[in-house]
Amino acid sequence: MSLAANNPALRSWVEVSKNSDFPIQNLPFGVFQTATAAPALGVRIGNHIIDLVAFNRFDLLEDIYFDKSTLSQASLNAFIACGKPVWQAVRQRISEFLQGEEVNHSRMAQYEEDGLLVPVGKAQMLLPVQIPSYTDFYSSIEHATNVGSMFRPDNPLLPNWKHLPVGYHGRASSIMVSGTPFHRPKGQFKPADSETPIFGTTRQLDFELEMAFIMGKGNELGSHITTAAAEEHIFGFVLFNDWSARDIQSWEYVPLGPFLGKNFFSSISAWVVTLDALQPFRTEQPTQDVAILPYLQTEGNQNFDIHLEVAIQPPQTAETVVCKSNTKYLYWSVAQQLAHHTINGCNTQIGDLYASGTISGKEKDSFGSMLELAWRGTKPLQLIDTTERKFILDYDTVIMRAYAEKDGVRIGFGEVSNLVLPAKE
């Protein structure tokens, strides 16, 4: 599919640095507010935000017919509900508005004065969507094999893993936007040297490097979404950090799976990169070497070539990049995830969030969690400041970044970054 807004030859009169995640070919959607203005929908270009309320006030959306009051809400949900033709038309109109061969600083200054262009430094980013429900999958075969081998060396992958996208339902209320600090969780766990469980703060706080998609169109209870139709239901993607307390998780997860080890906090990037913007970066997914049932079969390139990285930054110290991975490693595609999720008639809603599960590659430096990178604490990582990490410590900041790059165009997600605070008394 070729979209005019994706043309790699496009340039903008708004200044965009060479390595920016947000060139004119991206134009992701988010929600922001300033010290003097209420929350509004915005679109990112370089280091500026186009205020869509002001954009409409200038009559730039006059001939695109949808409820313009959706632009002044505190989430994208109502705008998303206007439908894919509207999302595409708005993105295309913004692209047309921004096109220019040379940077025009005087025009930028005038639109800043008029409130149409907002410098990112003057804006606070909010959670982009209200999330009715959240599901986390387990779609990386490398991650599943690594974790399985730690606990089941003779049988790392359970018999069902190559036949269906494994997942669990998580807690939507504790998903926050990048930049939100959180407190180390407490819970019950059983140390290896103890015969009985204890209660305390987690000793094994971990990140999980994931990508998540946001539903743009739901389905009714009793119906299902096919793999062929799945992408018509997806609005866009965000970076996702599925924060985990491994010691709490390993004690509680039998027989029903993750609970308190996962639901204390998760975080997403502030900007939703549309599925449209990612079309040029399609790639084939890994070979599925076990015959899968017809409802999970797909055609064409279903994965996306998106570079991922994770850095750990202790207080007052430079960050250390500890992981470099890629979404192309995912064994189960987003179309297969959504098709499996709904095959039993499960209904979905606009704003639902579906995360990929930890994305690991074959090489050690591509493992997407501390559980794997430090191999359950037996092989500590050394940071630039010479300190070691088996898991994440208080006052560490974990930073995840993602971008796709092709034909001189870089489509990025910004980052999802969170500071770990000590547990509350």
Q: Which residue has the tokens 């262009």?
A: 117
Looking at the DSSP bridge assignments, the partners of residue 353 are 134, 214
> Can you say whether residue 222 is alpha, beta or left, with left for phi > 0 and alpha for psi between -120 and 50 degrees?
left
Q: Which residue has the tokens 């002001």?
A: 54
Looking at the DSSP bridge assignments, the partners of residue 310 are 323, 400
Compute the distance between CA of residue 163 and CA of residue 315 in angstroms, rounded to an integer. Answer: 44
- Cis peptide bond upstream of 258, omega within 30: no
Cα Rg for the chain, rounded, in angstroms?
A: 22
Q: Which of 48, 105, 143, 183 is catalytic?
A: 143
> Is 105 tagged catalytic?
no
Compute the distance between CA of residue 285 and CA of residue 273 in angstroms, rounded to an integer. Answer: 20
Query: How deeply is 129 buried, as exposed, middle or buried, from its count of CB atoms within 10 A (0-12, 13-18, 19+)?
Result: buried
Are the beta carbons of 44 and 22 closer than 8 angstroms? yes
What type of residue is 30? Answer: G
Which residues are known to be catalytic? Answer: 143
